[in-house]
Amino acid sequence: MGTLRGRGRLTSTTDRINLIQLVEEAVASGARQAKACDELGISARTYQRWVSPKEPQEDQRQVAERPAPKNKLTAKERESILEVVNRPGNASKPPSQIVPALADEGVYIASESSFYRVMKEASQIHHRGRSKKPTTRALASHVATGPNQVWSWDITYLSGPIRGMHYYLYLIIDIFSRDVMGWEVWEEESAEHASRLIRKAVLAQGLKGRKRPLVLHSDNGSPMKGSTMLYTLYQLGITPSRSRPRVSNDNPYSESLFKTCKYRPDFPVKGFVSLEEARKWCLGFIKWYRDEHHHSKIGFITPRQVHLGMADEILEKRRLVYEEAKSKNPLRWSGSTRNWSIPKEVWLNPDKSLIEDLRQLA
């Protein structure tokens, strides 16, 4: 039940009756009243107050008449607030601008929070001004159960030969296999470059004209939203998906790949001397990443192997190796051998309620 000491007046009527009965039973059995109360977590004084005929049996706080706070706004002040905020010159201003302006005129009615409270009570809280009303954008949540279902792409800076000069690495990644679907390095960010890269990646994977739509996720950069890019996606039958504004972790797969890229031991931290050198280094990195990098999130298999459907065969061979090793020296294993498996579904920004609904349908 937990301790109730010092909170007697907060105890419900039902609990109060039960506690009184317990104390009475203990006293009838020979226990001291104070000791019985102590065991139940209440003081003897609280118990004596509860059983007193003068003590109300119900909590009186909800029906008590409380005096109005001394600092409560008067009806006249409320009318003044509504009159001020509805003046023609204040129609597009929030209270945070109205109140200081009144102070400059030598007038103080109430604080900004009081203005907001009065406006809310009068149903006058709404977006002010000609700017577009801020909207809350829903989280873009997608699931991939195999390759070429959900792609993620982004652009990252590569330092150039002098401070302030950059090259731009465009990268497309399949979130299920983590394989690179396409990449290019350019001297500028451009929707045209991005569109050509998307076209080449779709053609290379043989996805043009297939019935199942491909989801392409990106952030809110200008190349991602350019008319050229949107037209390309429409032509290819690709479903665009974008991160929420100013939320950097909505595109985690691309960001993770960029970190892997820039933390390679041979990455030129002082910058690339030319565009050709940047392209040459990125070519070597992509080959290493696809064919040699044993990715921790896909069972330490290379991304290309997962993308080509070789994962099950490779993992089964590993399992047999471990089973054989265990049979030779079972004392080295306290339980089963290592679980060599990869996720059957990969989520981009998983929505827990959506995941639960889909699994119930399955």
Strand partners, 172: 153, 182
- pLDDT in the model for residue 306: 96
Tokens linked to 156: 């990252």
Order of strands across the sheet that contains 238-242? 180-186, 166-174, 150-159, 214-218, 238-242
pLDDT higher than 60, residue 309: yes
Do residues 178 and 146 make contact, with C-beta atoms less than 8 angstroms apart?
no
User: Smallest Cα–Cα separation from 175: which of 352, 313, 303?
Assistant: 303
Task: Indicate the pairing of strand 166-174 with strand 180-186.
Answer: antiparallel
Q: Work out the mean pLDDT of the chain and round it to a whole number.
A: 86
Tell me the angle at which helices 275-291 and 252-262 cross, rounded to the nearest 10 degrees: 110
Do residues 119 and 81 make contact, with C-beta atoms less than 8 angstroms apart?
yes
pLDDT higher than 90, residue 166: yes
Alpha helices in the chain (DSSP H): 13-28, 33-40, 44-51, 75-85, 95-104, 112-121, 191-204, 222-225, 227-236, 252-262, 275-291, 303-307, 311-328, 352-361
**Section 191-212 average pLDDT:** 89
Residue keyed to tokens 């019985």:
36
**Section 318-324 average pLDDT:** 92
- How many Å apart are CA 153 and CA 184, to the nearest integer? 12
pLDDT higher than 60, residue 255: yes
- pLDDT in the model for residue 69: 82
- How many Å apart are CA 184 and CA 195, to the nearest integer? 12
Task: Indicate the pairing of strand 166-174 with strand 150-159.
Answer: antiparallel
pLDDT higher than 70, residue 352: no
Determine phi and psi for 211, rounding to 5 degrees. -75, -40
Among the listed ranges 14-18, 175-179, 253-257, 275-279, which one has the minimum average pLDDT value? 14-18
- How many Å apart are CA 133 and CA 110, to the nearest integer? 26
The pLDDT confidence band at residue 1, using thresholds 50, 70 and 90, is: very low
- pLDDT in the model for residue 314: 95
- pLDDT in the model for residue 49: 85
The secondary structure element, H or E, covering residue 217 is strand 214-218
Among the listed ranges 117-131, 162-176, 255-269, which one has the minimum average pLDDT value? 117-131
- How many Å apart are CA 217 and CA 182, to the nearest integer? 14
**Section 76-89 average pLDDT:** 91
pLDDT higher than 90, residue 9: no
Higher pLDDT, 137 or 28: 28
Tokens linked to 232: 């390309």
- pLDDT in the model for residue 8: 43
The pLDDT confidence band at residue 285, using thresholds 50, 70 and 90, is: very high
pLDDT higher than 70, residue 267: yes
- pLDDT in the model for residue 355: 56
The pLDDT confidence band at residue 176, using thresholds 50, 70 and 90, is: very high
Q: Is 239 helix (H, G, I), strand (E, B) or coil?
A: strand
- pLDDT in the model for residue 280: 97
The pLDDT confidence band at residue 254, using thresholds 50, 70 and 90, is: very high
Tokens linked to 339: 């679980």
Among the listed ranges 7-11, 101-105, 219-223, 258-262, which one has the minimum average pLDDT value? 7-11
The CA-atom distances, in angstroms, between 110 and each of 71, 90, 106, 107 are 10, 16, 13, 10
What is the share, in percent, of the chain residues with pLDDT greater than 70? 86
Among the listed ranges 89-103, 126-140, 193-207, which one has the minimum average pLDDT value? 126-140
Highest mean pLDDT among 223-237, 274-288, 345-359: 274-288
Task: Indicate the pairing of strand 214-218 with strand 180-186.
Answer: unpaired
pLDDT higher than 90, residue 282: yes
* Model pTM score: 0.63
What is the share, in percent, of the chain residues with pLDDT greater than 90? 51
CA atoms within 13 A on the CB side of 22: 17
The CATH classification of domain 142-298, taken from the options 3.30.390.50, 1.20.120.1780, 3.40.50.300, 3.30.420.10: 3.30.420.10
- pLDDT in the model for residue 61: 66
- pLDDT in the model for residue 46: 87
Determine phi and psi for 187, rounding to 5 degrees. -90, -5
Residue keyed to tokens 């009144």:
102
**What are the CB-based long-range contacts (under 8 Å, 24+) for 28-33?**
none
**Exposed, middle or buried, 351 (CB in 10 Å: 0-12/13-18/19+)?**
middle
Higher pLDDT, 355 or 50: 50
Determine phi and psi for 121, rounding to 5 degrees. -65, -30
Tokens linked to 197: 């890269």
Highest mean pLDDT among 33-42, 235-244, 270-279: 270-279
pLDDT higher than 50, residue 219: yes
